[in-house]
Copies of this chain bind each other. A is one copy, B any other.
Amino acid sequence: MPDSVTSDYFRLLNEIGIIGQLSRTLLEARLPPGFVTAQFSVLNHLVRVGDGRTPLAIARAFQVPKNSMTHSLTVLERAGLIEMRKNPQDGRSKLVFITDAGRTFRADAIDAMAPDIARIAAAFPRDVVARLLPDLERLRKVLDADRDAPE
């Protein structure tokens, strides 16, 4: 494979990393003090794909170590944004449920970002967003599948 191809993929991931960093900063500026993106993302995940999942399943979805997820969930539970229940099917594991407070927290954060989104939308047309979304979803799925069958 020629170098130029490698470097195109490399640049792609690089750009995505920078944009991720910039938007993370944007989001954290709108979250209540003391909360970070990782915690919001868990709530968002629970709403989007449904709750009642095990901590390990969530950790895998984010590709983070399970101990990191333990920590995030502890913070969220202390804040009353999620509930951890025993898994009746398996004595080892727990199930994670989002609370009403958690749903409100997520909705508020999204609302709080509206002005930021509006500024971005003014400079970055919606049709470009529409064009990007399917390709990026596909890339995410490729990376997701890749880690399951590595090397």
Q: Could you tell me which residues of chain A, from 6 to 24, have a CB within 8 Å of some CB in chain B?
A: 6, 8-24
**Contact pattern, A 107-121, Cβ under 8 Å of B = 1, otherwise 0:** 000100110111111
Copy number in the complex reads 2
Question: Which residues of B are found within 8 Å of A137, using beta-carbon distances?
Answer: 15
User: CB of A139 within 8 A of chain B?
Assistant: yes
Report how far A57 CA is from B27 CA in the complex, Å.
Answer: 23
When distances are taken between beta carbons in the complex, the residues of chain B under 8 Å from A90 are: none
- Is the Cβ of A20 less than 8 Å from the Cβ of B22? no
Q: Which residues of B contact A27 (CB under 8 A)?
A: 13
Smallest distance from the beta carbon of A128 to chain B beta carbons, Å? 5
Measured as residues with beta carbon below 8 angstroms from the partner, the interface class of chain A is: 35 or more
Given contact pairs A20-B16, A21-B63, A41-B17, A124 touches B142 in the complex (Cβ within 8 A): yes
**Given A123-B142, A142-B123, A142-B124: A130 touches B8 (CB 8 Å cut-off):** yes
Decide if A18 touches B140 in the complex (CB within 8 Å). Answer: yes
Instruction: Name which residue of chain B comes closest to A65, CB basis.
Output: B25
Residue ranges of A at the interface with B (Cβ–Cβ < 8 Å): 1, 5-6, 8-27, 37, 41, 44, 62-64, 110, 113-114, 116-121, 123-124, 126, 128-133, 135-140, 142-147
